[in-house]
Structure 1
Amino acid sequence: MKLLVLVLVAALLPVAASAERISEKREDATHEITGRVVAVKKDWGGEYTTFVVKVRIETIKKGDGFKPGDVMEVSCFKRNRRIFLTPGASGHGDPPKKGARIRAFVNRSPRKTEGVYPDWFDVLEDKKDAP
């Protein structure tokens, strides 16, 4: 009986370890910027698709290490499919489209810059040209 319990616990540990990721608050982001999306790179990896969104910075409301005109590479991901009884992070929403002006909330670490989970950007209206 003890062996059966141990086998069941061992089988369920990976499932418990891969549950939905905790949502992050935009106000806790290390960086808040506005800018234009200049490229979106997509990498399909089986259960998840990862994206690297390149944003040319227009303004920086919060954070350091960048200046207007720099390109920030922001990572995000999306789950491709749901496998029955396989919990896991759903991922971010769809990435912004190339050419879109966005306000982005991101967390920067020594390893990468990732969009706040799960909702990391707002699409902005294009600036109107002065008459």
Structure 2
Amino acid sequence: MLVLLFNTVEDALTKLNIIKEQLLNLRERYGIIREKLKINADIEEKLAKLGFQPSHQVITVQAIPHALNIHITPHSMWLLSKLNAIDGNINYVVGEIDKVSKYLSGIKDRNASVMIMIDYTSKKTKLVIMP
């Protein structure tokens, strides 16, 4: 859930545009990673069809105060599905920011405080305008 509080409508419009630009930049970066993972996922799928099962490796690093285990799994398909879910959430939030910005731009009282709650898991958005 994303909860945003703003002192004024103008502040909300400005900061929502900044947040939207950052999310679009993040989506672009994830898109590059997803394209690379698609190649790995295709190779994993072909290897699985041939009967090869990728192995799970654990690297133990001695650290203070205890040992640290790093798990390496060649499961690009799993990671790709996680990135697709994140991409869907980013798309939803960007769409809701567009809707809220459009609504806020039509408000006459520019000194009103604004609270926005965007719940991307249940796909609900609430906008509260406080005089």
TM-score, normalising length from structure 1?
0.24
User: Larger strand proportion, structure 1 or 2?
Assistant: 1
- More helix per residue: 1 or 2? 2
Structure number with greater Rg is 2
Taking CA–CA contacts closer than 8 Å with sequence separation of 6 or more, which of the two structures ends up with the larger relative contact order?
2
Give the TM-score taking structure 2 as reference length.
0.24
